[in-house]
Amino acid sequence: MKSTLVAALLVAATGAAMAGPTCTAPKETWKKEADFQAELKQQGYEIKTFKVTKGNCYEIYGKDKADKKVEIYFDPATGKALESK
């Protein structure tokens, strides 16, 4: 029983550690998705997937201008990169 509880706590902690950042800006201040994607493409990013995360940030999967795979979280209001993996 004790090992089951420990295992459950480890799984919960791992899930929380793997989650991305949380963005708190009101949605009315967010950059439009299409406009933001266009900005990223002008910077040389190739976007394979663009989404809004559970934490209300923009996230892209794709490649940078050096053709390196990227996963980046952005603040949807400012466009600032918050975290990359």
- For 30-50, the pLDDT digits (tens) are 999 999 999 999 999 999 999
Residue 50 resides in a domain: yes
Distance (Å, rounded) from C-alpha 77 to C-alpha 85?
21
Number of domains in the chain: 1
pLDDT at 19: 81
Global pTM reads 0.78
What is the residue range of 30's domain? 21-84
Provide the pLDDT confidence category of residue 76 given band limits of 50, 70 and 90: very high
Distance (Å, rounded) from C-alpha 32 to C-alpha 38?
10
Residue 48 resides in a domain: yes
Distance (Å, rounded) from C-alpha 18 to C-alpha 7?
17
Residue 46 resides in a domain: yes
Residue 12 resides in a domain: no
Contact 29, 41 (CB under 8 A): no
Reduced to 3 states, what is the DSSP secondary structure of residue 29? helix
Instruction: Return the CA Rg of the chain.
Output: 16
Residue 6 resides in a domain: no
- The number of residues making up the chain comes to 85
